[in-house]
Structure 1
């Protein structure tokens, strides 16, 4: 009883804080937050500690307040690492997070944008712990209206058990969400994992008049887009100004990495400042036009580097060394640096626009068209 009273008080305080930040606006989502025990979905998780690379401390129910109180704050809780991570001599763990319970403000912001109605049929991609699935189930008239999917069967199995304890029995699928043929359509689709593009099977799962919200262009940038199914069969909408970040969706058929050894090499000087690579809005343009690009940071002596690496192994790098003119080099012969220079010029010529001035149209054939300001304007780009 004491724990029951404690978590409910903490959940109300979390809802209060999300209302103050204006992420939470609707009474039905507040009710879902107050009545859904997040702690049941994270019986254990990892808290980041000081250090490079980041060491993580496992906390669980036996840790009492240290475990319970962070659950009802606005933070992402890491629950799993790629390959299990590495146990350190200190008893802590290091590794790359592969699953988590998402920051509540981001979850609620997306659910508000999704505009779920009680009668809707919803597809929830990236089940993870199942907490978001529970919030959606709370909103719907019946569990049969909800499908939740994750590529990891261990996650869907655990989530199904916790959801059932709360009286929710949605359909849980352990599938590759990018490739799955759903066999039906949905009024609302929400992806809680970052997608490189909207796949054909996912596009065809949006019902006429329906809405899809997803996080696009990992790993370089993570931007929320809200797409509505138009009468002409297109999915179309704008990127959201607040952004959001999720782990990249795992897939059953990951792309093969290439090798640029022995390929064309070129170099020169550049006017792109180092700070350009810290701009989320410039990163957005690069991520859209250099699919799968990753930004790496490095240093050598007094010089610092910013390197863009593509999945095929092509790369381009800028080097900054005090008052000396910045230089660039690249290998792979794919024009990575030319693309970077071109978009830096466009970005500045248009007063460094934020990503909410852009939108996306996905045609019935699957073509992705990025646009600036208006879908019928002059600035349109077909994405690869």
Structure 2
């Protein structure tokens, strides 16, 4: 009887924490669409984060749902429903997978602009939480999620099935997309990129939307055809685990302080975005001069074009004076 009562109390605490998070996200204005609000209300985060790692001193502490210590279990539950990213998988002390910040997830899902019947490819399965939200909104048959790591996909598949969701969960190199499930109307990426793999637009229908973290922002590309996509960055900052895979490149290191830039500017979130975006093309001092000359441009003034010949970032106009190559896949 005591064990049964404890289980009921634990369930009630989880339900209460989940409901409080949905209220907080709604109050913050990131769940304006009632369909996404319903998805967040239907999909509890704790199912997808049965444990997470938190930094403590020089090491890490693991908090988990089945800890015999009730205080540590309570810390796990409180942590799960805080609006923050959570480290869910470490390898040799290095973060390889995480549960994204719920408010950022909500912003990205809204920015994805899905329509009923859209087929969505998610690059970076993570815990499966984001795929569950997509399944609730669109239906399992319209959702494909890919991750390079079999341990991650197996875990995500299990979490999803626990709540009755059964999208296509594929183990593979997300940089190569998922040709077997193409074409897609939307591609949503939950890992930071150095550039856009050419395989993604080729696996999209004309008019599709690709939303991906690039530099420290989110680029929203509209696909014209298999060889061309273009769009602007959103205003939202975004920091994710880097894309892994055969075609992934190491993220650039702007190293602004080494070039004598004022530390307060290197730490400036807006300037850091431009510094990373133009690393290897503009000298950091050139980037600073341009940034100041153009009235400290925000992310929305920058964009990216992807073509069969290459890809480039730009300020204000893809045909204008400020255009920088991003590199080649």
- TM-score tier by shorter-chain length is 0.7 to 0.9
1:155-210, Cα deviation, whole Å (9 max, x unpaired):
10111112112111111111111134524211111000011111111221222111
Contact 1:29 1:108 in 2 (8 A): yes
Q: Measure the CA separation in 2 of the matches of 1:370 and 1:253.
A: 19
Structure 1 residues 232 and 169: alpha-carbon distance in aligned structure 2, compared to 1, 3 A threshold: closer
Structure 2's unaligned 5+ residue stretches are 1-7, 252-257
Q: Measure the CA separation in 1 of the matches of 2:248 and 2:266.
A: 26
Q: Does 1:79 align with 2:83?
A: no
The equivalences for 1:207-356 within 5 A come to 207-217=205-215, 222-230=216-224, 234-252=228-246, 272-290=261-279, 339-356=283-300
Contact 1:117 1:139 in 2 (8 A): no
Structure 1's unaligned 5+ residue stretches are 86-95, 258-268, 292-335
Contact 1:163 1:169 in 2 (8 A): yes
Structure 1 residues 125 and 270: alpha-carbon distance in aligned structure 2, compared to 1, 3 A threshold: closer
Larger Rg: 1
> How far has the Cα of 1:286 moved from its partner?
2.6
SS at match of 1:193: coil
Contact 2:202 2:225 in 1 (8 A): no
> How far has the Cα of 1:284 moved from its partner?
2.3
Contact 1:137 1:146 in 2 (8 A): yes
Q: Considering fraction of residues, name the structure with more helix.
A: 2
Q: Measure the CA separation in 1 of the matches of 2:202 and 2:247.
A: 20
Structure 1 residues 36 and 70: alpha-carbon distance in aligned structure 2, compared to 1, 3 A threshold: same
Q: Does 1:164 align with 2:161?
A: yes
1:144 aligned to which of 141, 145, 149:
141
* Alpha-carbon RMSD: 2.4
SS at match of 2:208: strand
> How far has the Cα of 1:247 moved from its partner?
0.7
SS at match of 1:369: strand
> How far has the Cα of 1:39 moved from its partner?
1.0
> How far has the Cα of 1:29 moved from its partner?
1.1
Q: Higher mean Cα deviation, 247-256 or 131-140? A: 247-256
- Give the count of matched residue pairs: 308
Q: Measure the CA separation in 2 of the matches of 1:246 and 1:17.
A: 23
Contact 1:199 1:366 in 2 (8 A): no
Q: Measure the CA separation in 1 of the matches of 2:50 and 2:10.
A: 14
Contact 2:201 2:226 in 1 (8 A): no
Q: Measure the CA separation in 2 of the matches of 1:188 and 1:253.
A: 21
